[in-house]
Amino acid sequence: MSRALAPSRRWWSEAYRAGLDLLFPRRCVACNDDLLAHDADAASISICSPCQRKLELIDWPVCSRCAAPVPATGGVTLDCNHCRGDKLRFQRTLALGSYEGLLRQLVMRTKTDRNGVAANSLMELAWRRFESQLAELDIDIVTAVPMHRWKRWQRGVNGPLIMARRIAERLHVPCWGEMVRLVRNVPPQVGLSRPARFRNLAGEMVVGPSYHLGAARVLIVDDILTTGATCSEAARVLLRAGAAEVTVLVPARTPA
């Protein structure tokens, strides 16, 4: 019975969505243009076609570990001059683009957008770019870098958690979004030197005792990767808790 009704439900859902679009036209999250003026592809990710073309998506050789730009060598680079001395605990980084221009604006929006439109749009773009790679990695669990509850209360939104939930939905795997926790509200990383960023977070994260990883392949989602210190500390405690390997997914990588 439920299968026979499914097409009808889909029709009503599509009709309802179309009605809402007429009454309250969806807007591009970047420029606020009416998405109905663009193709269905633009509407599906809430970013109009002209704005998509402005995004500086990575199309140059990068380090597979930290996603920093590297010279074209014809092969895969694992550990580059930017991260070789850092002993990053995660295996690889998938970064959508460079933290500049319009992509930077969208990432900044995820820090204040309580509706999660910007965060979800970025993850839809990431899914299109990395779907095959993520499938090959056979991810078991998705989580987000931890945000202290005080910081979350101040912002009113947790962008990395919204993004983690969206990509987990695409992967059809569980999102244990708050599996990794901060022990205390650590000072901000902004303005710290590279070594200080790693020291600032050392020993400040834990995996909740109720989570049992059992050699799971974990995907950590963050909004920006700079030195990788935050994701590396999260990966360290995940590996200690039993994870087999950790991959990082970010919309943006700061210029190295």
Domain boundaries defined on the chain: 2-49, 55-253
Q: What per-residue confidence (pLDDT) applies to 12?
A: 54
Question: What is the band of 24 on the pLDDT scale with cuts at 50, 70, 90?
Answer: very low
Question: What is the band of 191 on the pLDDT scale with cuts at 50, 70, 90?
Answer: low
CA–CA distance from 153 to each of 9, 74, 115, 242 (Å)? 38, 47, 15, 31
Q: What per-residue confidence (pLDDT) applies to 74?
A: 53
Kindly report the pTM of this predicted structure: 0.85
In the three-class reduction of DSSP (H, G, I as helix; E, B as strand; rest coil), residue 91 is classed as: coil
Architecture of domain 55-253: 3-Layer(aba) Sandwich (3.40)
Within the chain, residue ranges assigned H as helices are: 2-23, 40-45, 49-54, 101-110, 117-137, 149-155, 159-171, 194-201, 229-240
In the three-class reduction of DSSP (H, G, I as helix; E, B as strand; rest coil), residue 181 is classed as: strand
Q: What per-residue confidence (pLDDT) applies to 96?
A: 96
Is pLDDT above 90 for 222? yes
In the three-class reduction of DSSP (H, G, I as helix; E, B as strand; rest coil), residue 169 is classed as: helix
Is pLDDT above 60 for 157? yes
φ, ψ of residue 209 to 5 degrees: the values are -65, -20
Is pLDDT above 70 for 187? no
Question: What is the band of 5 on the pLDDT scale with cuts at 50, 70, 90?
Answer: very low
CA dihedral 90, 147, 255, 79 (to 10 degrees): -10
Q: Tens digit of pLDDT for each residue in 165-174?
A: 999 999 999 9
- What angle do the packed helices 159-171 and 117-137 form, to 10 degrees? 40
Q: What per-residue confidence (pLDDT) applies to 117?
A: 92
Contact 68, 50 (CB under 8 A): no
Q: Which residues pair with 77 in a beta bridge?
A: 63
Q: What per-residue confidence (pLDDT) applies to 108?
A: 94
Most confident of the ranges 4-8, 159-163, 188-192: 159-163
Taking residue 58's Cβ as centre, other Cβ atoms within 10 Å add up to 16
Q: Which residues neighbour 169 within 8 Å (Cβ) at sequence distance 6 or greater?
A: 175
CA-to-CA distance for 177 and 13, rounded, in angstroms? 28
| Residue 28 in tokens | 């591009």
CA-to-CA distance for 79 and 68, rounded, in angstroms? 10
Question: What is the band of 182 on the pLDDT scale with cuts at 50, 70, 90?
Answer: confident
CA-to-CA distance for 75 and 113, rounded, in angstroms? 39
Q: Tens digit of pLDDT for each residue in 95-117?
A: 999 999 999 999 999 999 888 99
Is pLDDT above 50 for 4? no
